[in-house]
Amino acid sequence: MAITKLNTYQPLTEQSAISMAVNVGIFEDGSLLTCEEIGDGNLNLVFHVVERDSGKGIIIKQALPYAKVVGESWPLTIERARIEAGALNLQRSFVGDLVPEVYHSDPSLAVTVMEDLSSLTIARAGLINGNKYPRLSDDIGTFLANTLYFTSDYALHPFRKKEYVKEFSNPELCKITEDLVFTDPFFNSETNEFEEELSGDVQQLWDDFTVKLEVAKLKKSFLTEGEALLHGDLHTGSIFVDDQHTKVIDPEFAFYGPIGFDIGQFIANLIFQVIASPGEKEPILHHIENTWNVFSATFSKHWKESGDAYTKVNGYLEYVLEKSFQDSIGFAGCECIRRTIGLAHVDDLESIEDKEQRLKAKRACLNLGKKLIVNRKHILSIEELLTLVRSYSE
């Protein structure tokens, strides 16, 4: 096997991925290695390299210079590989094993070499198959509290925080969210995709200026409020799980934004399960409740360690948590809508085979989404949110 060293960017092949695994010192020269490209191919190549004798594996992820989701016509710089590796390393310093270990990264090749998670399952797929993953909400609640608190102004010296804001400036991937989450689904945009039967519901949404005004405010928050370093794409497809482990992957959308965005996206993706799943809904509802409760309890615990004088002022923590809760609900509402009628759909809904059932579930997501967006300041507790979600899943 010829071992060549790449110096300038080119997409890896299974062969050159093997060479890289040896070159960066993870496997010895002469090891018997197999390699398979396992990515879903939206934005990246993902190689699984395994040493045959020991069974030891690694993942090599490489950003492509375009977004495959709409063909090569959507160019995207490979800068996001630097963001992803940087975010994984920073998150790992706050949450340990809740994110994969990065063994090596090379921004110029857009490559991140990391821990093999192939023994785990993508949470979305596992939940659709009826698994409950008892650790999921404890772990994601902790992930949210630690990553969001420790990158905020409450924890960081302002110089360090402003360095991170620059390091994680992420215009290209933010633009995808700005368009696909906040704008396109609420207007008659070419990127939208929905069954013809939903046309009436969608037209009603586009004509609803109460909803649009509230989405405008939420988009403004996404554009301007640099509260903490977000994962930026925290849906159940970005989480690997089994009954004992939770690993949050793919933070290539990371940037400084409003705390509620990560929380809201995760909650919305659990809501899809509550609405779509034919099985027992209470375990998923429990995950929603527990995610918020673990987040707020853990965030509050960290808050007490802050050196910032204002964190000692009565009512300030409660203000920050209440704002984050309201924001979470609003962002969850946007996610409910965009995953139903926007460009990127979710298997939770799409895999419902019965058409009437599927349309009913999608209408529930649309209507609940609107309700969450418009009523976010009047839903005063996680219990009230659960009651509302239940009422849309019957």
Residue 171 is a binding residue for a second copy (CB under 8 A): yes
Of residues 175-194, those binding a second copy (CB under 8 A): 175, 178, 183, 187
- Pick 118 or 311: Cβ nearer a second copy: 311
Question: How far apart are alpha carbons 316 and 318 in whole angstroms?
Answer: 5
Residue 307 is a binding residue for a second copy (CB under 8 A): no
CB 127 within 8 A of CB 273: yes
CB of 293 to a second copy, least distance (A): 24
- CA 180, 182, 183, 185 dihedral sign is positive
CB 337 within 8 A of CB 185: yes
CB 274 within 8 A of CB 257: no
Residue 203 is a binding residue for a second copy (CB under 8 A): no
Residue 174 is a binding residue for a second copy (CB under 8 A): yes
Residue 215 is a binding residue for a second copy (CB under 8 A): yes
Place of tokens 């909803």: 211
Residue 226 is a binding residue for a second copy (CB under 8 A): yes
Residue whose C-alpha is closest to residue 153's, from 316, 273, 284 = 316
Q: Which range binds a second copy by CB under 8 A, 62-70, 95-103, 164-172, 243-251?
A: 164-172
CB of 325 to a second copy, least distance (A): 16
Q: Which range binds a second copy by CB under 8 A, 13-21, 123-131, 159-167, 288-296?
A: 159-167
Question: How far apart are alpha carbons 3 and 23 in whole angstroms?
Answer: 8
Q: Which range binds a second copy by CB under 8 A, 196-204, 218-226, 362-370, 384-392?
A: 218-226
Distances (CA, A) of 381 to 141, 212, 266, 282, 370: 16, 24, 17, 18, 18
- Pick 189 or 367: Cβ nearer a second copy: 189
CB 292 within 8 A of CB 141: yes
Residue 232 is a binding residue for a second copy (CB under 8 A): no
Among 51, 153, 322, 350, binds a second copy (CB under 8 A): 153
Angle between helices 316-341 and 199-206 (to 10 degrees): 140
Among 36, 108, 197, 220, binds a second copy (CB under 8 A): 220
Residue 74 is a binding residue for a second copy (CB under 8 A): no
CB of 308 to a second copy, least distance (A): 9
Residue 227 is a binding residue for a second copy (CB under 8 A): yes
Phi and psi, residue 322, nearest 5°: -65, -45
Residue 165 is a binding residue for a second copy (CB under 8 A): yes
Residue 374 is a binding residue for a second copy (CB under 8 A): no
Question: How far apart are alpha carbons 34 and 52 in whole angstroms?
Answer: 7
Question: How far apart are alpha carbons 324 and 180 in whole angstroms?
Answer: 22
Among 40, 42, 193, 217, binds a second copy (CB under 8 A): 217
Distances (CA, A) of 344 to 179, 330, 337: 12, 19, 11
| Residues at the interface with a second copy (CB under 8 A) | 153, 158-159, 162-163, 165-166, 169, 171-172, 174-175, 178, 183, 187, 209, 212-213, 215-217, 219-220, 223-227, 309-310, 313-316, 319-320
